[in-house]
């Protein structure tokens, strides 16, 4: 595959430190539907650009040049559904505008055909069968090049590749501390890849022992200590032999305590002693056994909130909190969607050129909220590949695999609704205090973001259709805020 940037006429190289002094706009090339495994995504800085020309080329390439004082970035994609010069992005009064250049198949922004549109943060651009995401203001390290191709990323361990600048800095910090004995706390929603990161840290650490993952929520309360610390034969009914326990199994290696917030308080106290003394006392034994472990804790719960409620020990929290990392949900790192799709499709065992998406399927992938995150994406792709049986993956294949973008996810609860149902406005007299607070907040956000539903959805962590329902319910017209 031709690497991105192979036709550069002006090499921007690494930016000056002043270029990174403030957040800058970026364009992400996320996925090419016809070759999602062969075309890894890319990130382009728009900080030193006045115009972006997007169109079809014989191979993936980009070029930066200057003509008559205009700094131009040209991006070529081998997408037969794109025109030679498909669309142009220009800066107008400090904002980026996308304009269709008379293309045969048109230009789409957030699922709607557009001849000309001001871009807002997080907008999804569809040119032919290629999808981009525009980000309005991202901080990137000063020592990174202006353009980054995911194919050039060389992570120290699987799972540490990303085009999201902030997440990339988090991964680099993990790489730095991996060889130390510092404990690590990984937090984030279920399915965001906490165990993958824990295994990456173990792999980089060079520790000679095993990586042992323990799901604290799956341990029976009456057997927690024997499962963790081991037991002597005859220590309790059913103990027919000496057992080392999971902690000792990780000796000289790494112990992952997954969902540590589910550990009973009594076991938290026992585990605190293990960490302090670096030894365990098996159930039924009288002598401690020395251990050497690297501890990584993972949780989707707020441990500090559990401390306030008396459900988690503050001294244990202090002991395990060497480095704290929070992983974003998949819906907040859509820039990495193409990178994750390529990685997960590789696990299905299909040939790289045997998998493709039709454009409707790609729209579904971008619209869906992925409430169960990367784990759900992996299962959906595996199911869709089987159902497609060599044909392009369609929206129906994804729907049959459990991906339904018409579902509205509200704080973890699912409500299935017809997108076209009539949600009538509420009588002012029937509004609750919560309704009024929501309406006031929505009005404020509409003003701040000039009626951009996509931006408000990201701020609120909701689906676009939910914001649209609220606007209809409270008789708020987004168009009136765009003037």
pLDDT at 12 over 70: no
Q: What is the pTM of this model?
A: 0.79
- Does 118 map to a domain? yes
Let me know whether 26 and 83 are in one domain.
yes
- Domain end, chosen from 102, 120, 151, is at 151
**Quick one: pLDDT at residue 16?**
43
**Quick one: pLDDT at residue 7?**
27
Let me know whether 68 and 133 are in one domain.
yes
- Does 479 map to a domain? no
Q: DSSP code of 451? A: T
- Identify the band that residue 415 occupies on the pLDDT scale cut at 50, 70 and 90: very low
Let me know whether 219 and 113 are in one domain.
no
CA 53 to CA 12: how far, in whole Å? Answer: 17
- Domain end, chosen from 123, 151, 179, is at 151
Rg (CA), the chain: 26
pLDDT top residue among 416 and 302: 302
> How many domains, the chain?
2
Note the Cα 244 to chain centre separation in Å.
37
- Does 113 map to a domain? yes
- Identify the band that residue 234 occupies on the pLDDT scale cut at 50, 70 and 90: low
Q: DSSP strand E in 22-129: where?
A: 24-32, 42-45, 51-56, 61-67, 70-77, 87-92, 95-100, 107-109, 112-113, 116-118, 124-127
**Quick one: pLDDT at residue 423?**
41
CA quadruple 303, 317, 182, 206: dihedral sign: negative
| pLDDT tens digits, one per residue of 367-392 | 999 999 999 999 999 999 999 999 99
Burial code (b: 16+ CB inside 10 Å, e: under 16) for 269-307 equals ebbbebeeeeebbbbeeeeebebebbbbbbbbeebeebb
The CATH number assigned to the domain holding 305 equals 3.40.50.300
Let me know whether 78 and 49 are in one domain.
yes
pLDDT at 144 over 60: yes
Let me know whether 111 and 223 are in one domain.
no
Let me know whether 169 and 140 are in one domain.
no
- Does 179 map to a domain? yes
In the structure encoding, which two tokens stand for residue 442, read together?
Answer: 């929505």
| pLDDT tens digits, one per residue of 351-363 | 888 999 999 999 9
**Quick one: pLDDT at residue 119?**
95
**Quick one: pLDDT at residue 477?**
86
The CATH number assigned to the domain holding 48 equals 2.60.200.20
- Does 269 map to a domain? yes
- Does 437 map to a domain? no
Q: Answer for the pair 125, 132: CB distance below 8 angstroms, yes or no.
A: yes
Let me know whether 184 and 217 are in one domain.
yes
pLDDT at 430 over 70: no
Let me know whether 205 and 308 are in one domain.
yes
Mean pLDDT of 309-317: 94
- Does 219 map to a domain? yes
Domain limits for position 253: 165-326
- Does 314 map to a domain? yes
CA quadruple 386, 132, 360, 468: dihedral sign: positive
- Identify the band that residue 348 occupies on the pLDDT scale cut at 50, 70 and 90: very high
- Domain end, chosen from 326, 361, 385, is at 326
Let me know whether 180 and 248 are in one domain.
yes
- Identify the band that residue 156 occupies on the pLDDT scale cut at 50, 70 and 90: confident
Three-class DSSP category at 395: helix
Let me know whether 50 and 142 are in one domain.
yes
Let me know whether 103 and 217 are in one domain.
no
Let me know whether 172 and 134 are in one domain.
no
């Amino acid at each position: 595959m031709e690497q991105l940037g192979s036709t550069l006429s002006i090499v921007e190289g690494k930016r000056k430190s002043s270029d990174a002094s403030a957040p800058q706009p970026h364009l992400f090339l996320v996925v090419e539907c016809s070759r999602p495994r062969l075309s890894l995504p890319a990130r382009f800085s728009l900080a030193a650009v006045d115009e972006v020309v997007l169109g079809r080329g014989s191979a993936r390439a980009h070029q930066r040049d200057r003509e008559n004082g205009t700094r131009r970035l040209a991006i070529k994609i081998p997408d037969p559904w794109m025109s030679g010069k498909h669309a142009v992005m220009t800066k107008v009064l400090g904002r980026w505008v996308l304009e269709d250049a008379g293309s045969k198949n048109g230009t789409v922004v957030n699922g709607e055909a557009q001849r000309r549109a001001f871009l807002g943060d997080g907008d999804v651009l569809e040119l032919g069968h290629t999808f981009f995401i525009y980000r309005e203001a991202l901080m990137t390290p000063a020592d990174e090049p202006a353009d980054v191709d995911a194919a050039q990323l060389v992570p120290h361990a699987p799972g540490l590749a990303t085009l999201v600048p902030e997440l990339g800095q988090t991964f680099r910090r993990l790489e730095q501390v991996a060889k130390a004995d510092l404990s690590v706390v990984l937090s984030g929603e279920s399915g965001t890849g906490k165990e993958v990161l824990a295994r990456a840290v173990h792999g980089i650490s060079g520790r000679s022992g095993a990586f042992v993952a323990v799901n604290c929520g799956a341990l029976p309360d009456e057997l927690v200590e024997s499962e963790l610390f081991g037991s002597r034969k005859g220590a309790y009914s059913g103990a027919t032999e000496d057992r080392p326990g999971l902690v000792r199994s990780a000796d000289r290696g790494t112990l992952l305590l997954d969902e540590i917030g589910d550990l009973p308080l009594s076991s938290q106290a026992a585990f605190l002693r293990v960490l302090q003394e670096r030894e365990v006392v098996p159930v039924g034994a009288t002598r401690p056994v020395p251990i050497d472990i690297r501890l990584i804790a993972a949780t989707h719960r707020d441990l500090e909130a559990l401390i306030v409620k008396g459900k988690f020990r503050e001294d244990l929290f202090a002991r395990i909190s060497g480095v704290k990392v929070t992983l974003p949900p998949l819906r907040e790192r859509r820039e990495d969607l193409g990178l994750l799709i390529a990685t997960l499709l590789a696990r299905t065992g299909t040939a790289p050129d045997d998998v493709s998406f039709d454009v409707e399927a790609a729209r579904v992938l971008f619209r869906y909220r992925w409430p169960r995150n990367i784990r759900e994406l992996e299962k959906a792709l595996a199911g869709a590949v089987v159902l497609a049986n060599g044909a392009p993956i369609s929206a129906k294949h994804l729907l049959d695999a459990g991906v339904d973008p018409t579902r509205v996810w509200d704080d973890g609860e699912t409500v299935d609704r017809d997108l076209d149902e009539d949600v009538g406005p509420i009588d002012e007299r029937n509004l609750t205090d919560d309704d009024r607070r929501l309406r006031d907040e929505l009005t404020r956000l509409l003003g701040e973001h000039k009626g951009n539903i996509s931006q408000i959805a990201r701020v609120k962590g909701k689906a676009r259709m939910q914001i649209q329902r609220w606007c209809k319910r409270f008789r708020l017209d987004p168009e009136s805020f765009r003037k």
